[in-house]
Each structure stands twice: as structure tokens, then as C-alpha cells.
């Protein structure tokens, strides 16, 4: 019996970007990929099925990406996070650093999706930590 694929959640309010990332990742046949258009919808999706890793836009309507990450981490719904943002001047808060987000986990839009996949694979390989 094969192990289940690691579940990823893509949280971005721009449907075209969310779909582009999801479709790109689906080509790898290595992930169970879900999407959400807001932080609130993302938390609802995680409550139904927790994820190994979330790719999160920082600028979301309502609950922003940082609040989503902190809530998902506090509730034990996702252990690892990548930021996908258009904010070139963003700096990581102490709270994000405390939940394990590093500068390597920040991807500025538009970005190289192959580099995003490489980072996802790196983080998933270390998921036993």
C-alpha cells in the first residue's frame, strides 16, 4: 500500500494565480492539492483536512495571510508555510519567524514556480522533524 500524497493548500484571493499554481503542482503527481480564496476559507478547508504545507498570499481580503498562518499553526492544521506575495518590501514578523517561516520561504510574485516546487519538496522531506 502506498502512502498518501502530502496535502498542500494554496491560499490566494486571485483565482487565476491560485489556479496557475495548483495546475503547475498537479503536473508533478506528487501532491494532494487544494485551494482557498481567503484566509477564512483556508481555515475551513484545513479543519476538514489538515495540510502538510500551505502556500499563502499575504494580502488577502478579511483575514490576511499572516493571521491565517498564525491561526493555522496555533490550531495544528498545518506545520509548514510558504509566503507568496506581491509585496517586495515585506519583512518577516517575529511571529512568523517563531512558527518557522524563513526568508527562503518568501516568494515574490511573479516567481519561478520550479523554485517554489523545489522549496516545497525540501520542506516535505524534512517533515519528520
SS (HEC) of 51-116: EEEEEECCCCCCCCHHHHHHHHHHCCCEEEEEEEECCCCCCCCHHHHHCCCCHHHEEECCCCHHHH
Is the pLDDT assigned to residue 63 strictly greater than 50?
A: yes
pTM for the predicted model, two decimal places? 0.92
- Whether 120 is in a domain gets the answer no
Check residue 127 and give its pLDDT. 57
Q: Domain residues for 41?
A: 7-109
Q: What is the pLDDT of residues 6-21, one digit of tens each?
A: 999 999 999 999 999 9
Instruction: Provide the CATH number for the domain around residue 40.
Output: 3.40.50.2300
Count of structural domains, the chain: 1
**Other Cβ atoms closer than 10 A to 6:** 18
pLDDT band at 129 (very low <50, low <70, confident <90, very high): very low
- Whether 38 is in a domain gets the answer yes
- Whether 2 is in a domain gets the answer no
Amino acid at each position: 500500500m502506498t502512502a498518501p500524497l502530502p496535502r498542500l493548500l494554496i491560499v490566494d484571493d486571485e483565482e487565476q494565480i491560485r489556479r496557475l499554481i495548483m495546475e503547475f503542482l498537479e503536473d508533478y503527481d506528487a501532491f494532494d492539492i487544494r485551494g482557498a480564496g481567503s484566509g477564512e476559507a483556508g481555515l475551513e478547508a484545513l479543519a476538514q483536512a489538515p495540510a502538510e504545507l500551505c502556500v499563502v498570499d499575504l494580502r488577502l481580503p478579511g483575514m490576511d495571510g499572516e493571521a491565517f498562518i498564525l491561526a493555522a499553526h496555533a490550531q495544528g492544521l498545518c506545520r509548514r508555510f510558504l509566503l507568496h506575495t506581491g509585496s517586495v518590501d515585506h519583512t518577516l514578523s517575529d511571529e512568523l519567524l517563531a512558527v518557522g517561516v524563513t526568508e527562503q520561504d518568501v516568494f515574490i510574485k511573479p516567481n519561478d514556480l520550479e523554485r517554489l516546487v523545489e522549496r516545497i519538496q525540501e520542506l516535505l522531506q524534512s517533515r519528520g522533524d
